[in-house]
Structure 1
Amino acid sequence: MSDARIERIRLGEVEVIRVVEWQGAYLPPAEMFPTTPARLWEEHAEWLVPDHWRRGEDRTVVALQSWVLRGGGQTIVIDTGVGHDRDRPGMGPFHRGRSRLIALLGEVGVPPESAEFVVNTHLHVDHVGWNTVDASGEWVPRFSHAAYPIPAADDAHYGPAQAYGHGWQPADRLVYEDSIAPVHPAGQPLLWEGAHRVNGLLTLESAPGYTPGSSVARLVSGGDRAAFAGDLVHSPVQIDAPCHHSNSCLDSGRAEASRSARGPPSAPAPGDARSSLKREAFDAPAVPFHVPQPVVAEVGRERERSPVPDPGNLSLIRPGGTSGAAILLS
């Protein structure tokens, strides 16, 4: 893997560091987002090309990245990428991929031993890969002093009791066995459901659908807020049109309810632990995980930014001097 980058912004007293493990052209839109019509991409081509859609190749552009939060005397890592040289048959660039993520964390002054918390927003292959490291043939926690907040619903779904995700993706067993299971004997997981307060700055909230335990991490520091939205969104197209889901979404109806204020009667109500990108209470801009480029997307709030033609009040703003509220799509 290549094209690794490091970028920083500050929200209140917290330094937020984006560490990109890999970025590049990925699947065609019709394959990655099977319900999106081609016209939707063409209608938004002005701002999707080239950062989010390589029109000539007809491929989406994605990033794999982690977020580091440093503030309040603690260091938190949100999601740990694909990992290095992992056995992931049938998973394209994830199989035996090369990763410099740990080296990049060292470059920003965050050796694994310095992290107090490692948050997995959900338990997919590209969010848990550096949870562990091969130590003489045995997988052990890479962040040896950290607690690992893990959504209990995902731990159950992808664990052996439910046949490693019911066999939907054969590699799910390998992911759980080398990246999740080894953390348990060390007593480092913090299994949570509904909502979980990590520390005085960060709270985790359930946003189910994409996976049973998909979650959002909310940061509050001074007058600034941010929400790291995990895989609630893979492309800005889904903020404009939250009804569309990715090809790896397990429950598209619940995922849409988590992305949008719309949804079935069981959709989360304001104040519920589950999160929405368009609910007024979730009024905030967004900085990406799978969405590439150093952008912040803001939903339902007026501020200086580069305009994006979007009926849902989505705009893109660059990091640097950013304040107020932010959604970070991690």
Structure 2
Amino acid sequence: MPADTITLGDVDITRVIEWSGPIRTARFIIPDSDEETWRRNQRWLEPDFWTAADDAYRCHIQSWVLRSEGKTILVDTGVGNDRERPQIPLFAGLKTDFLARLREAGVTPEDVDVVINTHIHYDHVGWNTELRDGEWAPTFPNATYLIPRADNLYFDPEGPRRSRAPRDEHERVRWEGSKLVFDDSITPVHRAGQAVLWEDTHRIDGNLRLEAAPGHTPGSSVLTLRSGADRAVFVGDMLHSPVQVLDPRWNSCFCDDLQLAAKTRASYLSRAAELRELVIPAHWPGRGAAEVRQDGDGFAITEWADFPRD
């Protein structure tokens, strides 16, 4: 079994990292957070999640491979190679060995039965496709791709969101960037007949269920795991940093509906504390996941997962 694997009940969970490093400053990524909180928690935030000397926010771009009831399930697919990404040049034209790392975890593209996109952002759908002979084609030829219907509608370049002109240059770059994401990472999956749009909830098997968790994007979702006595919740971009556990009112700079995102975050953290769910965000480095408990108006981390500190 790969080193980056833990087992919950009857489900094996393997972490596959595409990219790791700093992105902007901590309070650019979590703009509502305050310096005092980062400094007060420096002992355990540094160096995995933050480096004080340059105030750098650190993250992984990673996917989760689940083996459940005989199926191989991939949760989020990273940035992908060969992309135009004007909204974030850091990830334009990547040439990573992600597929080789996936094979090291014992998974070939043909092995994947289900791909889950927790939402349609560039760093969650990129390896949905790969460039073959100048055309984008699904990377995982035998997989069903589960895509939230609300996000598909929201980000579709032909959808109602595109009916007005961008208000400023920043919005223009974001809109053009999201069109590229849809065109190279979502449309080819539809064209191949491999996309399944879902809303509200979607049962994958006896252990796994998708739930709508809007706020970060209109279609943001979580994947819940229930197997034996074990519980986990894959929360996507609900938590970019552990400081959002301390104060769930703090959104990331990428959140679409700030009020709803904060409400959804608090609700799922409360449930995780009550049920002792392992909380598995999309981008946490270090141990990658944690259990939480209620702590006043916020929450505290009680125990880290057993993933190696990659």
Both structures adopt the same fold (TM-score exceeding 0.5):
yes
- What's the secondary structure of 2:270's corresponding residue? coil
1:162 to 149, 160, 163: 160
Alignment of 1:123-202 (within 5 A): 123-160=120-157, 161-163=159-161, 168=171, 169=174, 170-202=176-208
Q: Please say if 1:241 is aligned against 2:234.
A: no
8 Å CA contact 1:82–1:99 kept in 2: the answer is no
CA distance in 1, matches of 2:3, 2:197: 30
Structure (1/2) with the larger helix percentage: 2
Q: Please say if 1:20 is aligned against 2:17.
A: yes
In structure 1, the residue matched to 2:299 is 312
Q: Deviations over 1:104-125 (max 9, x none)?
A: 1111111111111000000000
Q: Which ranges of structure 1 fall in alignment gaps of 5 or more residues?
A: 262-275, 302-307, 321-330
CA distance in 2, matches of 1:289, 1:12: 21
Once the two structures are TM-superposed, the CA of residue 316 in structure 1 deviates from its matched residue by 3.3
Q: Identity over aligned residues, as a percent?
A: 42
Q: Deviations over 1:206-233 (max 9, x none)?
A: 1100000001001122221211110000
Q: Please say if 1:67 is aligned against 2:73.
A: no
8 Å CA contact 2:235–2:280 kept in 1: the answer is no
Judged with a 3 Å threshold, the aligned counterparts in structure 2 of structure 1 residues 111 and 145 are, in CA distance, closer, same or farther, namely same
8 Å CA contact 1:158–1:165 kept in 2: the answer is no
Deviates more, 1:28-37 or 1:208-217: 28-37
CA RMSD between the two structures: 2.2
2:115 to 115, 118, 121: 118
8 Å CA contact 1:202–1:217 kept in 2: the answer is yes
- What's the secondary structure of 2:186's corresponding residue? helix
Aligned residues: 296
8 Å CA contact 1:164–1:172 kept in 2: the answer is no
CA distance in 1, matches of 2:303, 2:228: 23
Once the two structures are TM-superposed, the CA of residue 41 in structure 1 deviates from its matched residue by 1.0
2:32 to 32, 35, 40: 35
Deviates more, 1:229-238 or 1:217-226: 217-226
Judged with a 3 Å threshold, the aligned counterparts in structure 2 of structure 1 residues 121 and 85 are, in CA distance, closer, same or farther, namely same
2:270 to 275, 278, 281: 278
Judged with a 3 Å threshold, the aligned counterparts in structure 2 of structure 1 residues 120 and 165 are, in CA distance, closer, same or farther, namely farther
TM-score in terms of structure 1 length: 0.84
CA distance in 1, matches of 2:192, 2:256: 30
Q: Which ranges of structure 2 fall in alignment gaps of 5 or more residues?
A: none
